[in-house]
Amino acid sequence: AQSVAQPEDQVNVAEGNPLTVKCTYSVSGNPYLFWYVQYPNRGLQFLLKYITGDNLVKGSYGFEAEFNKSQTSFHLKKPSALVSDSALYFCAVRDVGSSNTGKLIFGQGTTLQVKP
Amino acid sequence: DAMVIQNPRYQVTQFGKPVTLSCSQTLNHNVMYWYQQKSSQAPKLLFHYYDKDFNNEADTPDNFQSRRPNTSFCFLDIRSPGLGDAAMYLCATSRGGQGNEKLFFGSGTQLSVL
């Protein structure tokens, strides 16, 4: 069965420090991986995706993610965190049975808290 | 700006009283989705439409129905809301087809059941 795991409920970092939000996946075949961010009382916003190609994917708001096939991971990173980055972050994988839609399986989410 | 709009932002209903949530999109996307999200948990897909084709998730209760009268609009009907149905309901769209997996979400409707 395909799944996504985010092992940390919450990540705390100081503003200006690098941040990492972890994600591991389990799928058969080649994974289509995504990161979304959710600000309080809002819908999810797309950050970035990995389909094929370079293992380092750059996305919105200075975020990037590194695809690691051997470790089945897709960690979200940012070199210098901002207080405004504080939000709920979801890793997701495309359902392998949905070749034509964006039907996604989401991880449980990680709350990022950036302190001034 | 093209977007996904959900109304109302907050909805209060009574136990057992039917309620309808609405979603509209100006993106002209083929696919529309309804997700249920409880207390900052992972969004859970209820169903989706690819154009007029309705796709129900296997574990979506019969209490939940959906209508898509045209490309722009999609409705979520909860026939007899229970206390356990209180949640944020998120509508999303995507273009459909290979390479178009990016989802565009509305701001959600927070449903309370009294």
Name every chain B residue with its beta carbon within 8 A of the beta carbon of A102.
31, 33, 92, 94, 100-103
Contact predicate B26/B91, CB 8 Å: no
- End-to-end, the C-alpha distance of chain B in Å comes to 36
Work out how many CB contacts closer than 8 A connect A with B: 68
Q: What is the pLDDT of residues B75-86, one digit of tens each?
A: 999 999 999 999
Residue A21: pLDDT band (50, 70, 90) is: very high
Pairing of strands A10-14, A110-115: parallel
Checking B9-13 for CB contacts under 8 A at 24+ apart, the result is B9/B107, B9/B108, B9/B109, B9/B110, B10/B109, B10/B110, B10/B112, B11/B109, B11/B110, B11/B111, B11/B112, B12/B111, B12/B112, B12/B113, B12/B114, B13/B78, B13/B81, B13/B111, B13/B112, B13/B113, B13/B114
Q: What is the pLDDT of residues B34-90, one digit of tens each?
A: 999 998 788 999 999 999 999 999 899 999 999 999 999 999 999 999 999 999 999
Amino acid at A70: S
**Per mean pLDDT, which range of A20-24, A73-77, B25-29, B99-103 is the poorest?**
B99-103
B39 secondary structure, DSSP code: T
Name every chain B residue with its beta carbon within 8 A of the beta carbon of A108.
41-42
Nearest-neighbour CA in chain B from A80: distance (Å) = 25
